[in-house]
């Protein structure tokens, strides 16, 4: 069951949610440092991370699935959010330069259909960033945060899903090493925990961040040949072939031909 949009908004309004937004947002800012003149869309609940690009791109809007619900965003000015069906995005082909999926892939009923739609609306060479819960991290094991709901992923699972959907991963990162606790004492040490754990590439991060490009050709994989029995052995005829009744020479005629007495 997908999270309600009010729960997501409440989480990002808390100190722990602000910590998550800051750490994940730092990775996004490094990857998309120049978005002037580009069209950017967020899918799922990506508005906490889209705010850092608000003054630079050509177009910036958020799409939220119907199962989750939608909120007006941004808080001031014309609304740039829409309620959508994530299996049929209301966009023409090749119109988005950058797509951000946050709280989307893990809650999608059909992840392949979702990524196929994202592939369709991205421009040639367009880029996709997915923020997904890490199945081996502590955040995915506790349902006190939005990252503890839905289907968590390992890096290998994300890699297979991307390739099957015609995306080529070009960058991997992890974030949220700090425990998902609202205690002020833990949050005070969160930057140090994040910095040291990231440098040492320790396991157990809360989320996996993968960036991929739209692939315009299909990879040539190993063909699986369908071998039949005829490839291993010659065709065999049945030893006994039934003959319909009433056809062929009578039994007495066959004996006469062999010289047998009638």
pLDDT tens readout for residues 30-81: 999 889 999 999 999 999 999 888 777 889 999 999 999 999 999 888 889 9
- Helix-then-strand count for the chain, H and E: 7, 7
Residue 225 scores a pLDDT above 70: no
**Residues whose CB falls within 8 Å of the CB of residue 198, separated by 6 or more in sequence, listed in order:** 174, 175, 177
Measuring CA to CA, which residue among 53, 76, 62, 55 is closest to residue 5? 62
What does the pLDDT average to over 103-123? 95
Do 119 and 199 form a contact (C-beta atoms < 8 A)?
Answer: no
Angle at 22 between CA 156 and CA 202, to 5 degrees: 40
What does the pLDDT average to over 99-112? 95
Tell me the pLDDT band of 147, cut-offs 50, 70 and 90.
Answer: very high
Distance of CA 132 to the CA centre of its chain: 9
Residue 231 scores a pLDDT above 80: no
Residue 1 scores a pLDDT above 60: no
Q: 13-27 burial by CB neighbour count: b if 16+ within 10 A, else e?
A: eeebbebbbebbbeb
Residues 158-172: tens digit of each pLDDT: 999 999 999 999 999
Residue 88 scores a pLDDT above 60: yes
In CATH, the number for domain 5-214 is 3.40.50.150
Q: What is the pTM of this model?
A: 0.81
Alpha-carbon span 123 to 128, nearest angstrom: 11
- Residue spans per domain, the chain: 5-214
């Amino acid at each position: 069951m997908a999270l309600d949009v009010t729960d997501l908004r409440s989480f990002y309004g808390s100190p722990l949610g602000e910590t998550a937004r800051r750490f994940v947002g730092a990775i996004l800012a490094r990857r998309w440092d120049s978005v002037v003149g580009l069209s950017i869309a967020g899918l799922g609940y990506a508005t906490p991370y889209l705010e850092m690009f608000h003054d630079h791109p050509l177009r910036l809007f958020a799409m939220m699935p119907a199962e989750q619900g939608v909120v007006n965003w941004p808080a001031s000015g014309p609304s740039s959010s829409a309620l959508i069906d994530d299996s049929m995005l209301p966009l023409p082909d090749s119109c988005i330069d950058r797509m951000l999926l946050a709280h989307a892939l893990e809650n999608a009923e059909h992840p392949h259909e979702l990524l196929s739609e994202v592939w369709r609306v991205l421009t040639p060479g367009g880029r996709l960033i997915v923020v997904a819960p890490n199945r081996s991290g502590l955040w995915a094991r506790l349902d006190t945060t939005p990252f503890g709901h839905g289907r968590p992923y390992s890096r290998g699972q994300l890699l297979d899903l991307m390739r099957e959907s015609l995306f080529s991963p070009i960058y991997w990162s992890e974030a949220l090493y700090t425990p998902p606790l609202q205690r002020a004492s833990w949050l005070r040490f969160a930057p140090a925990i994040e910095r040291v754990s990231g440098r040492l590439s320790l396991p157990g991060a809360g989320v996996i961040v993968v960036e991929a490009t739209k692939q315009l050709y299909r990879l040539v994989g190993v063909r699986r040949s369908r071998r039949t029995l005829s490839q291993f052995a010659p065709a065999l005829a049945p030893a006994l072939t039934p003959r319909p009744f009433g056809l062929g020479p009578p039994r007495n005629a066959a004996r006469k031909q062999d010289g047998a007495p009638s």
